Amino acid sequence: MSEIEVAIVAGGCFWCTEAVFLELKGVYKVVPGYIGGEMPNPTYKAICTGQTGHAEAIQIEFNPIDISYEELLEVFFATHNPTTLNRQGNDIGTQYRSEIFYTNENQKQIAEDYIKLLTEENIFESPIVTTVSEATTFYVAEDYHHNYYNGNKEQGYCSFMIAPKIEKVKKVFKDKLK
- 135 vs 128: CA distance, rounded Å: 20
- 177 DSSP β-pair partners: 24
- Beta strands per DSSP E along 2-65: 5-11, 27-35, 55-62
Helix or strand holding residue 22 (H, E) = none
Supply the DSSP string of 49-98, one letter for each residue. Answer: TT-S--EEEEEEEE-TTTS-HHHHHHHHHHSS-TTSTTEETTEESGGG-E
From its phi and psi, is residue 140 left (phi > 0), alpha (psi between -120 and 50) or beta? beta
Q: Catalytic residue positions? A: 13
Q: Which long-range contacts (CB under 8 A, 24 or more apart) does 44-50 make?
A: 44/141, 44/142, 44/145, 47/95, 48/93, 48/95, 50/93, 50/94, 50/95
